[in-house]
Structure 1
Amino acid sequence: MITSFQMRAARALLGIDQRTLAELAGVSLPTIQRMEASVGTVRGVVESLTRVVDALNSAGVELIGENARSDIGGRGVRLKEPGPPRRAGARS
């Protein structure tokens, strides 16, 4: 569904930290930390994963799945539109 690398890249594109992603997705900070600590595909409660994917999508990030149409193939993230302004002091 989503890899830990995609999650970190999506946060970087949006200029948000883990806490902000947790708030946007309605999940706990430790949940985001566990997801991003995964190797490869993120594993966890399906509802939490869905919330994170939906939050990233709503914030303007398109997650590109394996074998999805793209010019160079592979997994990745694509910024659909500029994200929200970065908060002062926010770290990724």
Structure 2
Amino acid sequence: GGILLEKLIIQGGNRLEGRVRVSSAKNAVLPIIAGTLLASTPSKLLEIPNLEDVGTICQVIESLGVKIARNNADGEIVFDASTFSVAPT
């Protein structure tokens, strides 16, 4: 048997918002955390594993000026990248 891959094709012009359930495995979580940099409003991630790699990427993102509120007890992390800019200041 083959592997069935799902994909989303998104055409611009419409605001995206909502909830999506994804795997909480490290290989899924790290790119999602990086993706929070693209959001203009805070992003809340739930059931994030308390792993060293997750802590490291949070430190890197925080050093870029992103505000992070983390609750390790329930695996919740809120990323606020509203003031983040890739351009030098």
**Alignment TM-score, normalising by the size of structure 1:** 0.35
Q: Which has the higher helix share?
A: 1
Which gives a bigger RCO, structure 1 or 2 (Cα 8 Å, sep 6+)?
1
Bigger Rg over Cα: 2
**Alignment TM-score, normalising by the size of structure 2:** 0.36
Q: Which has the higher strand share?
A: 2
